[in-house]
Structure 1
Amino acid sequence: MSVHDSMVPVELAEFWLFGYGSLIWKPPPHFDRRIPGWVTGYVRRFWQASEDHRGTPEAPGRVVTLIDRSYWAQLTDHHDSAPEKVWGVAYRITADRVDEVKEYLDIRETNGYSIHYTPFHPAEGVDSVLLPQAGPIRALVYIGTPENEQFTGPQDPQKLAEHIYHSHGPSGPNREYLWGLEKSLDALSLESGDEHVTDLSNRVRAIAAQQEKESGPADKLRAAYSLADMGTESSQHHHFRRAGSVDEQEETEKTS
């Protein structure tokens, strides 16, 4: 159990899910409220292997997880600073679908992620009508802790960027996950950017630019269409909407 679990009541009438990775732009099914905001006490890092979405068992990709800040402070990380607030979004799942969504998430998050609860702080300016209470909201979050076998720990940023650039899984290229996260975070708030994510994104863009110089026109055209599709999908998911079916979701977060 996370140390954050003891800071909030055990039971509340509403079920909220916090997403800090792909859930930001690829919502879970059956939600009726989407609230931007942040949690504290954690650091977001691309230190979780992905064998099922952005990589394969033979060649795992990399997705984000949350690191307890006190544990992270003991490590040697090339990105030696991190914002106090980890920004993301919280989704309220409709009451009649909570059990279904929990079961679905448990199945989808088997690749190294475990359940935790943490206080979620809504961003300033969120309409109070959308909130169940004043102050933090108790939210479920999936975290790949250092004890799980998919946890990679600190990595050289350039080597990590090269790994992300070359990785590909059933849900698509690993680099699209990275760029989608960067774009989605930047859209949440003026302070929601993440230096770790931005630096990796810039490094991967530089690798992609170099590869484009060395590739033919057909390859460049395919890359352009891929990025255009990703941008359209990301912008569409920033609106409140209720997902119609679990089967319609290509990928539910590692929450990646």
Structure 2
Amino acid sequence: MVETNGVVVDAAGHPSTSPDEEFWIFGYGSLIWKPPATLCQDHRGTPTAPGRVVTLIERSFWAALADAHDSAPETVWGTAYRIKAQHVTEVANYLDIREINGYTIHYTPFHPADGSAPIRTLVYIGTPDNDQFVGPQDPQALAEHIQRSEGPSGLNRDYLLELEKALNELSSESGDAHVTDLSDRLREIEQRILSGEVNVDIDGPLESVSHEFTKVSSIDEQEETEKI
């Protein structure tokens, strides 16, 4: 057994448990609506055009960032999964596949919404020293990036909208202003795309579409312009 980030793990890097110990996982992001034992990692982009998914950071680190949002809630909402001892290895192997891209093991207390006693849960976190960590980004640019990103797990837009829905359904207090703001921006972008107001460039920002006709010298050319 070795200790990593204050967590005792075995030779395979799995959390140490005894046969009579319960194993709990704190699920945030897509783990709120996707059970940890049934799915692999959420790839919502490609290596050359990575998508965006959420992680957790320490408040002291967040306070040092030039974030577009001037406040952050004290509570992180999510779902706790109880894993029985006989399934620990199986679930840990799934999570290794899902979270191996720079995520590290940590423990955190989980406070059930019903007010019952806290539960010690394992959580995978992509810390700021992770190569995949992006940091703050202009909200509009971030929404545009999410709108055009896609990977083996599907559309990045679906991840964002599912996250908003899952958070809103956990509790009357669990909605996240940042996630909702991004979702609203995404819906507005897609409405503009459907109405033909903007063009989609997979490698760059959205471009406005001009609806003005080009002035030409002949009637025939004017008619062709109008058809286009």
Scaled to the shorter chain, the TM-score interval is 0.7 to 0.9
CA distance 1:52–1:191, shift in 2 (3 Å):
closer
Distance 1:185 1:114 in 2: 23
Shift of 1:52: 6.3
- Paired position in structure 2 for 1:233: none
Shift of 1:2: 5.8
Q: 1:104 aligns with which of 94, 105, 109?
A: 94
Letter in 2 for 1:208: E
Q: 2:173 aligns with which of 176, 191, 202?
A: 191
What runs of 5+ residues in structure 2 fail to find an aligned partner? 8-15, 198-228
Query: Following TM superposition, where does structure 1 have runs of at least 4 consecutive aligned residues deviating by more than 3 angstroms?
Result: none
Letter in 1 for 2:149: S
TM-score (norm 1): 0.67
- Paired position in structure 1 for 2:61: 71
Once the two structures are superposed, residues 63-112 of structure 1 have per-residue CA deviations (whole angstroms, 9 ceiling, x without a partner) of 00001111101111001211110001000012211011112211221112
Q: Percent identity?
A: 68
**Greater Cα radius of gyration, structure 1 or 2:** 2
Letter in 1 for 2:22: E
Shift of 1:29: 2.0
Map 1:1-256 onto structure 2 (within 5 A): 13-29=21-37, 53-124=43-114, 135-214=117-196
Give RMSD over aligned pairs.
2.2
Contact map agreement 2:17 2:23 (CA 8 A) in 1: no
Contact map agreement 1:165 1:174 (CA 8 A) in 2: yes
Question: Higher strand share goes to which structure?
Answer: 1
Once the two structures are superposed, residues 189-228 of structure 1 have per-residue CA deviations (whole angstroms, 9 ceiling, x without a partner) of 010011111111111111011111129xxxxxxxxxxxxx
Distance 2:114 2:195 in 1: 44
Q: How many residues align structurally?
A: 183
